[in-house]
Amino acid sequence: VIGESMLIMGEVYNNGYPTPYGNILRLTGTGDGEILIGWSGVSGAPAPAYIRSHRDSANAEWSEWAMLYTTLNPPPAPPDLNPVGSAIAWPSDNIPAGYTIMQGQTFDTSAYPLLARAYPSGVIPDMRGWTIKGKPASGRAVLSQEMDGNKSHTHTARAQDTDLGTKSTSSFDYGTKSSSSGGGHAHEFGGYINSYWGDSNHTSFQPGNGAWTQVAGDHTHTTWIGPHGHTMYIGPHGHVVIVDADGNAETTVKNIAFNYIVRLA
């Protein structure tokens, strides 16, 4: 009915359809807008469908035919935008077809010529446990390895000074102690002469061969020690500080583990 929405079946002729055979479903609205849906196929194969349309104005241009993708007619695989040889972070242990884990293995350079351009030695780098670093301007070679390490630096450390002053030892009463026995002995002393000559009195001592004191024999002495203590001066001083080792087996940053894979081509 003119002026109302309609469904019109037609053939593909004169519609610029992508294939020479097929059917077209034409949908029109109350205005001038139209949409064409076409499908085609041979011998029971999945029938790819196409669509084109124009807006609801009298002179609107038709869009190009665009294919409709379905589960039976999926879109083609997108081109791999990573150049062959690129290390690709892959979040699974299930490696997609056409790729391999980078684990230091050799490969056939004749079977994979594009990969051989990146790795002419025929050996894929082992990326397990390694990260990628941009080549520095210091002249380091591409694919060269750099072991883990800290940037050279120094530390300072000291023990805080403390003045312990003068300290006393504990007190103890040693009481009265006796010396060991032994040492009996006597002393000799010279004689002396009193002279009453002239107007002066004189006393002279003569060495040796004089009188002796009485022998005392073996004996001991007693010494009183009594309670007492001792003091020692400590004074301000420092101590040696030992800094213990700490850290992991290697230098690293917070990270998430991925597999590095490379395309075989």
- CA dihedral for 258, 259, 262, 263, sign (positive or negative): negative
Query: β-strand 259-263 against 34-39: which pairing, if any?
Result: unpaired
Does position 106 have pLDDT exceeding 80, yes or no?
Answer: yes
pTM of the model: 0.49
Provide the pLDDT for residue 211.
63
Nearest one of 218, 209, 212, 217 to 187, comparing CA atoms: 212
CA angle 158, 159, 163 (to 5 degrees): 135
Q: How far apart are CA 201 and CA 248, in angstroms?
A: 104
Of the listed ranges 27-36, 125-134, 142-151, 199-208, the one predicted with least confidence: 199-208
Cα–Cα distance for residue pair 45/229, rounded to 1 Å: 113
Query: How high is the pLDDT of residue 1?
Result: 33
CA distance linking residue 259 with residue 127, whole number of Å:
8
Domains of the chain by residue range: 6-68, 80-133+257-265, 166-179+188-214+221-236
The whole-angstrom separation of Cα 7 and Cα 28 is: 7
Specify the CATH superfamily of domain 80-133+257-265. Answer: Phage tail collar domain (3.90.1340.10)
